[in-house]
Amino acid sequence: MATNRASGPLARVLGYLESRKNLAGSACGLAGLALTLAGVAGTYWPVVIAGLYGAGALVASPERASVPVFPGTAEQLGVVREDLARLREYAAEVELPPAAEGRLGGLLDLYGALLEPGWGTEALATEPDAVHALSRAIRLDVPECVDTYNRTRWWNRLTPGGESPERHLERQLSVLSEEAERLTAGLQDREARRQQTHTAYLEERGRS
């Protein structure tokens, strides 16, 4: 912990030594030193050097903070693709009812098709909201569905009764499947509109 505290001030000092303000102030200070050696500054040479250093540091342009670099959409989709692979491994290890297992398999296959490098990812790359929805489903929604099902099923065995955990799981997966289908349909519709727009452009150009 002490090392971490010491590194902060040291880093700031080193940063200032490399800053534009220090370089400009040092250049002006050297000019003051030259005046001193030439006998111009007289007995006030320390004040002259310090004053010139301060003036140089004041007029120097401020340091420009580096613009943060964020991962591009292609990199984000690559990470989501890796998350989907881990989700598949997790789903393969858990025991689910046949109906829910089939629905989950179809859902994951649809996610995989959307994330497959090619036209799907090209369309997704222009739709940040779609990327967010897909990422949220893979990282949060589906794992939560499976985990809560397994937990509830365990408690249900101790105290039978109430609504079936299987039924809840199937409803949840149905909602996620409908969401994924709407997302896919939206991307398809956008591509269809793009084709229609190009057709209209070519027809208009042909008439002119």
User: Do residues 42 and 85 both lie within one domain?
Assistant: no
Q: Flag whether 168 is in a domain.
A: yes
Q: Flag whether 55 is in a domain.
A: yes
Q: Is pLDDT larger for residue 30 or for residue 102?
A: 102
Q: Which pair of tokens denotes residue 157?
A: 């065995």
Q: Flag whether 2 is in a domain.
A: no
Q: Where is mean pLDDT largest: 2-11, 42-51, 79-88, 112-121?
A: 79-88
User: Do residues 101 and 195 both lie within one domain?
Assistant: yes
* pLDDT above 80 for 166: yes
Q: Flag whether 37 is in a domain.
A: yes
Place of tokens 């989950």: 104
Q: Flag whether 133 is in a domain.
A: yes
Q: Flag whether 93 is in a domain.
A: yes
Number of domains present in the structure of the chain: 2
The three-class DSSP label of residue 163 is coil
User: Do residues 125 and 99 both lie within one domain?
Assistant: yes
Q: Flag whether 66 is in a domain.
A: no
CA distance 208 to 40: 81
- In degrees rounded to 5, what are phi and psi of residue 94? -95, 155
CB 142 within 8 A of CB 104: yes
Domain span at 176: 73-207
* pLDDT above 50 for 75: yes
User: Do residues 97 and 39 both lie within one domain?
Assistant: no
Residues 6+ apart with CB under 8 A from 12: none
User: Do residues 53 and 78 both lie within one domain?
Assistant: no
Q: What pLDDT is recorded for position 156?
A: 76
CA distance 156 to 99: 19
Q: What pLDDT is recorded for position 30?
A: 76
User: Do residues 111 and 163 both lie within one domain?
Assistant: yes
Average pLDDT over residues 65-80: 75
Q: What pLDDT is recorded for position 41?
A: 61
User: Do residues 87 and 109 both lie within one domain?
Assistant: yes
Provide the percentage of residues in the chain whose pLDDT is more than 90.
Answer: 38
User: Do residues 50 and 126 both lie within one domain?
Assistant: no
Which of these three, 33, 59, 85, is where a domain ends? 59
User: Do residues 153 and 101 both lie within one domain?
Assistant: yes
Q: What is the average pLDDT score of the chain?
A: 81
**Alpha helices, DSSP H, located in 60-164:** 73-93, 98-115, 119-124, 128-136, 142-158
User: Do residues 51 and 91 both lie within one domain?
Assistant: no
Nearest Cα to Cα of residue 183 among 193, 171, 175: 175
pLDDT digits (tens, 9 = 90+) for 105-133: 999 999 999 998 888 888 888 888 889 99
Q: Where is mean pLDDT largest: 34-38, 72-76, 128-132?
A: 128-132
* pLDDT above 70 for 71: no
Determine the residue type at 152: T
Query: How many C-beta neighbours within 10 Å does residue 202 have?
Result: 10
User: Do residues 200 and 101 both lie within one domain?
Assistant: yes
118 sits in the region (left: phi over 0; alpha: psi -120 to 50; else beta) called left
User: Do residues 145 and 199 both lie within one domain?
Assistant: yes
